[in-house]
Each structure stands twice: as structure tokens, then as C-alpha cells.
Chains A and B, each alone.
Chain A
Amino acid sequence: MNHVMISADDLGFRYPEQTSNTPDILQEITFKIQKGEYIAIVGGNGSGKSTLVKLIDGLLIPTSGYLTVNGISVTDQNHLADLRKQIGLIFQFPEDQIVASTVEEDVAFGLENYGISTREMHARVRKILEGFDLWDLRGRATTMLSAGQTQRLALAGVLAIGPDCLIFDEATSMLDPAARKNLTGVMKGLHNEGKTILHVTHSMEEAFQADRVFVLKNGRLVYDGTPFDLFSLPDISNWNLEYPEIIRYTQIFKQLGVRLPDHPRVLHDLVPYLADQLRPVKVNQIGLIKKSADPIIQISDLAYTYLAGTPKAVPALYQVDLNIPANSGYGFVGKTGSGKSTVLQHLNGLFKPQQGKLRIGKHDLTKTYNLVDVVRTSGLVMQNPESHFFEYYVGDEIAFGPRNVGYDGRLVDAVSWAMELVGLGFTEFRDKPIHTLSGGQKRKVALASVLAMKPEILVMDEPTAGLDPISRQEILKKFSLLINTGMTLVVSSHNLADILMLTGNLTIMDGGRSTANGNTRDILWDINTLLNHGIEPLPMIRLGHELAKVMETDFDPIIEFSDLINQIQVGEHA
């Protein structure tokens, strides 16, 4: 590995429309990337990560400094085609990069642009589609693919060109854990084939698997080194980063006197050491049986088909049965396409049940209802809610909901109450233009814009997706406070850690059916049920099961680190 693939020297960038008092998007960036390296690029929302990768692909032109790919300057328009052939860029939302109307034509699009002969193109398209298990779908319209198929197609279209370097720009952020694991597996496979990988991510677990990490903060490269050195630093929160689980747990175990290897990669690496040095302690857990509150949402035999009665009809729900207790947190988990979002849109009255029964508070949705009345009871925060903003100022956006549904007292009080609840000071933020806010602050505005209607139930679809670790932690804390105010929280998330933190009960959705309902901890501990539904268990739960197996003991559910610590003692087996 002594061939420099990408080289940046004092690189800077600013958009022409930026005002003179705003800093450059990227400033004084210098690095060298060797061919075949696997680099993670991390940093808070708006730190300049995506701008950097666009510069590397020649999609933006630097405003200062130098940037070369295999010796070709990104400003050299005569060799731009040679440069772009070497770089493959995978976007966060794969549907954004699908250009053609059918699967095979989309894979061929890049090859057509580079003038590859028709015969060779057909051979390459077939090979790549077979490799991604899409050959049988080659004639299908690209708009008719599932989320997983679209992701594979986006990758196939890029790989068909045969780039040496692949850039994944937050490509894993919207995926369910199983799909995320699959895609990171593909990245590792490509890396093993000798490809250079640049992975922009908010996941510290993913960054930890890289050879090298770049940290960006306010457009500057503030760290360039190994993940071990990065996560050995005493404080990384000012870079909007957090420590991966493996680092946090290793430190605690070491403090307890357990001898561990210097650089474990995953929790699984700890199993033999822990099994050797720990012994189980029987804990008599005093079961506090908490009586469930009366259900505020009741669903039975719910079914729904999109575009029902048309040739494009797509069944989304077949049978959903569940009750959601009042004043609690309730979760929905399941693979992409399992029907979670469709159920959530029923809980807000956006969809009327086509079959079955649905009651939300006092509203029976099987009968004719007024949507505004239901919205007043149950507020919904949809995925990527900040993309639906239409007002210029924060205060106006938040006032939109209560203005529509009515409010008790003064409108300004409703807005102020909601803003303070999510941690946005009313006087500081009400007159701020929305576009000047950070990603985390925008998500808080979206949350406040629903909370201002003072609903009894707050339904949220992937509320932390796309946020950097610190913004995610902040917003999760706000959600926890909401439950304490007596609100019922319904959350759908691919992130089981969010579900664990916010909910007491959950439902697993699979293929449009509610296949398991119950206590969150019990279901998360039931590793076989999760795996049978294509859900990747939390690493700590896997560790708990592996330890139980190796130590030949039965643990009570180990869901969080404290559960493990409570059930072990340091010391050799008797």
C-alpha cells in the first residue's frame, strides 16, 4: 500500500452564493489516501463531510488548494471522465441515483456514458445483476422495486463502471440493522478485493471497523488517525462523536480488574476472556409487576392495501392486532417494508382501516371521523420531518399545527411551551430562519411543531435517523421527558437502542403482520424471535447469550450493560 490514490493539499471550498461573513464550508484540508485503504469520515451534521466527497468525485470544484485522484486534478476538465471512472459514489437515498426506467437500463447508464460497446455492456450488466441477485428483475420498472432492491441496484449501477474507489455517503443511515450489516459486509468484501473505501457515517461502531478515521468539525479536518487512537482520546463529544460500545464496555471491565486484549474489534472478541475471568452470581430479582394502564389505542385484524382496486394495488398490512397502554412508551420494530410506517399512519387517522377495528382514544376509526379531531388526540412526526417545512421562521413553522387544530389560550403560549419542552429557547429561536439551524435543531423544530398541538399521543417514525450521535442523545432525552408528562409515545425505529430507551412494550412487524407483542426487554432478549424476523439483536444481548452459553449458565435478560454487571463477579470459576 504505497500508491497514493487521493491527495488533498490545503483544500478549501465555499459556495458562490455564501455571504462574506459565513466561513468556508471546507478549510485547509490536507491528507493523503493510499490505494486500498478503508477510511471512515465522521463528524456532526453540517461539518462538511458530504461536500468533501463531492469534491473528490469532481462534482464540485475546490475554491482553494489542490485535490488529485491518481494524479489527476479534479479541476482538470479534460480528464474529468478518467477521474470519475475511478470513483463510485453511493448516495444516502438510493432512489436519488436511479436514472433509468428499468433495472438493466439503469445499470447500463454509466457504461453508455463512457461509450462501452453494446456487446461488452450486455455482458457486464448480466454479470453484475447476477452478482446482486437482480437478474430476474432486469425488466422491472425501477419505481416498482423494494427498498432493499433499490439499494442493491444503486450499488450495481456504480460498480458496473469498475471504479477503484467507492464512496458511501451515509449510505447505511436509513437502513434496518440487517440491511446495514449486509451493506457493511459488501464494503468489507470490496475492500478485500483491493478497492479503496471512503465511508461517511454517523455510526461509531461502523467507524471503528475502518483502518483510518477522518473527523471533520466546522469544515476542518481535526483528526486523521486510527480508530483506536481516536477513541482513546479523553473527550470527543465536542466533535459530536461518542465512543463505540466496545470501547465503553472494555474500559469498565478493565476498571473491574478483567484482563482483556488491547484492541478488541467487536464484543464477540471479549467472550473467551470474560468467560474465563467472570463467574455468574444469582440475583433474586424482586418482580415488580406493574399493572398495565388501560389501552389508549386498540387495533384488531387491521388490513390495508395501497391503491386498492387498481392494477397497482400493493397489500401492506394483512393482520395487525395490538393494544397500546396509555402514558407509556410503545415501540414498533421490523425490517424495511414490514408495514411499520403504514400502521403509524393509521394511528394518526391518515389512513382509515379497510378491514378490522381501530380505536384511538375516544375515536372509533372504523366509523366516519374528522381527521382534525384525531390529529388533536394523536400527533404524528413522519420520517425526515424537516423536509416538510414551508415557513421561513421557526416560530411560524411551529405555530402551523395549533393554528389549524385550535388551541387553549394564546397561540404564543402553545408555541412557547412546545419549544421549551424540546429545548429550543423561545426568545432565542422563534425568529430564527429555519435554514440556519443544525440538523438536530431542525428535528427539534419538527417535534415541537407537533407537540404544540398538545396531543395525548405522540407517534414518531424513525425520529433519530440521520442525526449525529450527540444530537441523537439530546433528542432521546427530550423524548424520555415527554413520557413523564403523561404523554403516550409510539416510536418506530430501526435502532433497537432507541426502542429500549423509550419503550416498555413493543410489536414486531413482519410481512404486514404483527407477529409478536410484549414487554420490550423480554422480546429483545428473545434472540431467536428477533433473528427469525430478520432483526439484528443489540450487541450486548448477543454478548449475554454467548456468555451464558460458554459459561453454561442461565442469565436473567441481559439487555443493557448494567444487567450484565449485576449478574457477574470478577473471579475464576470454582
Chain B
Amino acid sequence: MHDQFEFSRNLIFPEYSETGAWTQKRNSGWLLFSTVLYFTATLLAKSWGNLLIGFCICVFLSILARMDFKSNFRNIMRTMPMLVVIAAISLFSNPISDSSPIIINWWIITITSLDLENAGMLIVRFILLMQIIGVLTSSLSITRFIHGLEDLLTPFKWVGIGVHHFVISVEIAIRYIPLLTQTAERIAKAQASRGAAWGSRSGSLNSRVRQILPVVVPLFTISYQRADKMAMAMDARGFGMKGKRSQYVTDRVQLIDMVIPAMMLGYLWMVLS
């Protein structure tokens, strides 16, 4: 099938669409805070037991977020070659000697069973983190994500750092991803219709670079023009005016919003203890 022009297929994380899922009703700031806690705990987890807890939490939240497991699994599998490469690098470049049984000892390469275990854990950690990002992206619209980010960064406001304009920049950058994807698709099709060998995976590095130039140059131009137009559209609707900006979405905190952070804190406590 000629789907080489459907770049949207390559978006790894699910996009938000309103499903009424339980996680979509949670306070965005606390949901983001919980994600940070989960990241910390998972990256610090040193045992399979801890990762199993992380896995259970991940599955539980994925169910609450009504995620499509099948397509999510497919997306994660697409990143598997990259994960295996990272794991292999960690396997061969592990400088710490340990007393576990040696499995391979050839030339300057020594791989112990602990190295293998660490590489396996690395892959599992990445998969869990990707899945939890998926939970987040399918639970929060970009605007709620931005409001959550602003709440999360509130301490910076106390020391006089302008958080608001930073988060708006993040919002536009995120909203731009699907637009850029669609634009790149259109340009690639336009150039392919003039015989450009788009999608071919053969040829020298030089010819591959020459192959993408007809897409990258107009993409850059169109992106610049679009960014200019969007900035103009925002200005035209009063963005950046003096005076306090109000908020349409007001994320009130309820007691039930504390369930996920509490769960994450418990996970982090177990990892650290």
C-alpha cells in the first residue's frame, strides 16, 4: 500500500479526543505532577518487583484513560528497534564490574547476567514511560495540558519568571505538530508527482539528502509563513495585550484528584525504601 505519504501514521503518542474517560476529568496540574513522580520512580526503580508495580499502575491508568491497547502496542513496537539499539549500547558500554556470572567474554567485551538484566530493565522502563506519556496525551487537551503546566511551574512565578508566555509558546509548538505533518505530507506528494523519488530507502547519503531537500525547503518556508500568520491571528484576537488574562478552563481541585498522586507517591516511596 502506498502509505508512505501518510506521515501522521508515525505519530507515536495518541492525540486527545474527548471520550469522557475518568482521567480526562482529573485536575491537569495534579495529573502532570503525578506523571513527573511516575517518571522519577520508574527511572530510579532497580528491581523487577518495583517495575512490576510500575507496570500495574500503568495498566490501571491506561484502562481508566480508555486507551486503545492494540494501536498503542503497535506504536511502541515501532520504536522497538531504537530501544534495542539503546539497550545494546548500554550492554557493551557498562563500565561497572560486577560479580554476576559472565555470559560472554570475547576480546574486550564482557557481558554478565547483570548487564543483560539491566539492558532488559532499560527497555521495560522506556516502554512504561512511553505508555504513561500516552495516558497523559490522551487525557489532557493541549489547552488543559498548558494550564496544568502553568500550575506546575507556579513556583517560578514567585521568583519573577514569566511562565505564562513560555507555556503559550509550548501550546503553539504542540499544536503545530499535526499541522506540520499535514504540510509535509502535501509537499512530499507534490514533489513525488514531479518524479521526486520520495520514500526510496536506497542510494548514497548524498542522494538521500538531495531527496529530502525539495520537501524540507518548502516545509521550512510554509512553516515560517504559517507561524507568522498564526502570530498575526493571535494578535488580532488580543493576545499579549496589557491587563490580566482570564481563563476559560478553570481546573478546580477535588479530593478524588489526589488518588493518582497518592498512588505515585506510594510507588516512589517503595522504590526509594
Determine how close the nearest CB of chain B comes to the CB of A336; give it in whole angstroms. 16
Q: Provide the residues of chain B in CB contact with A351, threshold 8 Å.
A: 2, 5
Flag if B142 contacts A101 (CB, 8 Å). yes
Flag if B18 contacts A139 (CB, 8 Å). yes
List A residues 46-84 near B (Cβ within 8 Å). 54, 57, 59, 80-81, 84
State the interface size on chain B (CB cutoff 8 A): 62
Flag if A99 contacts B234 (CB, 8 Å). yes
Flag if A112 contacts B248 (CB, 8 Å). yes
Q: Provide the residues of chain A in CB contact with B192, threshold 8 Å.
A: 350, 371, 375
Q: Provide the residues of chain A in CB contact with B5, threshold 8 Å.
A: 350-351
* Interface presence of A116 (CB below 8 A): yes
Determine how close the nearest CB of chain A comes to the CB of B173; give it in whole angstroms. 12
Flag if B235 contacts A59 (CB, 8 Å). yes
Determine how close the nearest CB of chain A comes to the CB of B207; give it in whole angstroms. 12
* Interface presence of B99 (CB below 8 A): no
Given contacts A306-B6, A345-B189, contact A404 B232 (CB under 8 A): no
* Interface presence of A485 (CB below 8 A): no
Flag if A99 contacts B6 (CB, 8 Å). no
* Interface presence of B245 (CB below 8 A): yes
Flag if B6 contacts A85 (CB, 8 Å). no
| Bound-complex Cα distance A95 to B179 (A) | 9
Instruction: From the candidates A96, A372, A375, name the one contacting B230 in the complex (CB within 8 A).
Output: A96
| Bound-complex Cα distance A111 to B249 (A) | 12
Annotate B197-228 by CB proximity to A: 1 below 8 A, 0 otherwise. 10000000000000001100110011000100
Q: Provide the residues of chain A in CB contact with B243, threshold 8 Å.
A: 81, 114-115
Q: Provide the residues of chain B in CB contact with A112, threshold 8 Å.
A: 245-248
| Smallest CB gap from B20: residue in A | A139
Annotate A98-109 by CB proximity to B: 1 below 8 A, 0 otherwise. 111110110011
Q: Provide the residues of chain A in CB contact with B71, threshold 8 Å.
A: 310-311
| Smallest CB gap from A113: residue in B | B238
Flag if B238 contacts A84 (CB, 8 Å). yes
Flag if A101 contacts B8 (CB, 8 Å). no
Given contacts A99-B175, A350-B2, contact A114 B194 (CB under 8 A): no
Instruction: From the candidates A121, A122, A376, A390, name the one contacting B195 in the complex (CB within 8 A).
Output: A376
Annotate B69-95 by CB proximity to A: 1 below 8 A, 0 otherwise. 001000000000000000000000000
Given contacts A102-B141, A350-B2, contact A388 B175 (CB under 8 A): no
Given contacts A105-B249, A143-B178, contact A85 B238 (CB under 8 A): yes
Q: Provide the residues of chain B in CB contact with A403, threshold 8 Å.
A: 195
| Bound-complex Cα distance A381 to B132 (A) | 43
Determine how close the nearest CB of chain A comes to the CB of B120; give it in whole angstroms. 29
Instruction: From the candidates A95, A104, A158, name the one contacting B237 in the complex (CB within 8 A).
Output: A158
How many pairs, one residue from A and one from B, have CB atoms within 8 Å of each other in the complex?
Answer: 188
Instruction: From the candidates B3, B191, B226, B239, name the one contacting A96 in the complex (CB within 8 A).
Output: B226
List B residues 1-59 near A (Cβ within 8 Å). 1-3, 5-6, 8-9, 14-18
| Bound-complex Cα distance A488 to B258 (A) | 67
* Interface presence of A427 (CB below 8 A): no
* Interface presence of B187 (CB below 8 A): yes
| Bound-complex Cα distance A233 to B263 (A) | 78
Flag if A389 contacts B218 (CB, 8 Å). yes
Flag if B141 contacts A375 (CB, 8 Å). no
Instruction: From the candidates A57, A113, A117, A400, name the one contacting B239 in the complex (CB within 8 A).
Output: A113
Determine how close the nearest CB of chain A comes to the CB of B135; give it in whole angstroms. 15
Determine how close the nearest CB of chain B comes to the CB of A415; give it in whole angstroms. 13
Q: Provide the residues of chain A in CB contact with B98, threshold 8 Å.
A: none
* Interface presence of A382 (CB below 8 A): yes
Flag if B191 contacts A388 (CB, 8 Å). yes
| Bound-complex Cα distance A235 to B166 (A) | 54
Flag if B18 contacts A140 (CB, 8 Å). yes
Q: Provide the residues of chain B in CB contact with A389, threshold 8 Å.
A: 218
| Smallest CB gap from A158: residue in B | B237
Determine how close the nearest CB of chain A comes to the CB of B158; give it in whole angstroms. 22
Annotate A284-314 by CB proximity to B: 1 below 8 A, 0 otherwise. 0000000000000000000000111011100
Flag if A102 contacts B193 (CB, 8 Å). no
Q: Provide the residues of chain A in CB contact with B14, threshold 8 Å.
A: 311
Determine how close the nearest CB of chain B comes to the CB of A326; give it in whole angstroms. 20
Flag if B233 contacts A96 (CB, 8 Å). yes
Determine how close the nearest CB of chain B comes to the CB of A174; give it in whole angstroms. 14
Flag if A404 contacts B196 (CB, 8 Å). yes
Which among B187, B193, B214, B239 has the greatest number of chain A C-beta atoms within 10 A?
B193
Flag if B229 contacts A141 (CB, 8 Å). no
* Interface presence of B143 (CB below 8 A): yes
* Interface presence of A557 (CB below 8 A): no
* Interface presence of A134 (CB below 8 A): no
Determine how close the nearest CB of chain B comes to the CB of A51; give it in whole angstroms. 12
Flag if A105 contacts B246 (CB, 8 Å). no
Q: Provide the residues of chain A in CB contact with B244, threshold 8 Å.
A: 115
Determine how close the nearest CB of chain A comes to the CB of B18; give it in whole angstroms. 4
* Interface presence of A43 (CB below 8 A): no
| Smallest CB gap from B183: residue in A | A387
Given contacts A140-B17, A143-B178, A376-B195, contact A116 B237 (CB under 8 A): no
Flag if A382 contacts B186 (CB, 8 Å). yes
Flag if B230 contacts A312 (CB, 8 Å). no
* Interface presence of B172 (CB below 8 A): yes
Annotate A342-383 by CB proximity to B: 1 below 8 A, 0 otherwise. 000100111110100000000000000001100110011010
* Interface presence of A385 (CB below 8 A): yes
Determine how close the nearest CB of chain A comes to the CB of B232; give it in whole angstroms. 5
| Bound-complex Cα distance A117 to B246 (A) | 6
Which among A85, A95, A157, A390 has the greatest number of chain B C-beta atoms within 10 A?
A390
* Interface presence of B272 (CB below 8 A): no
* Interface presence of B104 (CB below 8 A): no
Flag if A121 contacts B248 (CB, 8 Å). yes
Given contacts A101-B141, A307-B8, A376-B195, contact A116 B246 (CB under 8 A): yes
Offer 21 A-B interface pairs, CB within 8 angstroms, sorted by A: A57-B236, A80-B241, A84-B235, A89-B233, A95-B179, A96-B226, A97-B237, A99-B239, A100-B175, A111-B246, A114-B243, A140-B17, A144-B17, A310-B9, A311-B71, A372-B197, A379-B193, A385-B190, A400-B214, A404-B194, A450-B193
The 7 closest A-B pairs by CB, nearest first: A404-B195, A108-B248, A101-B142, A139-B18, A97-B233, A110-B237, A113-B238
Other contacts beyond A118-B248, A139-B18, A400-B191: 7, CB < 8 A: A88-B236, A93-B229, A144-B17, A350-B193, A372-B195, A404-B197, A405-B195
- Enumerate chain A interface residues (CB-CB to B < 8 A): 54, 57, 59, 80-81, 84-85, 87-89, 91, 93, 95-102, 104-105, 108-118, 121-122, 125, 139-141, 143-144, 157-158, 161, 306-308, 310-312, 345, 348-352, 354, 371-372, 375-376, 379-380, 382, 385, 387-390, 400-405, 449-450, 453
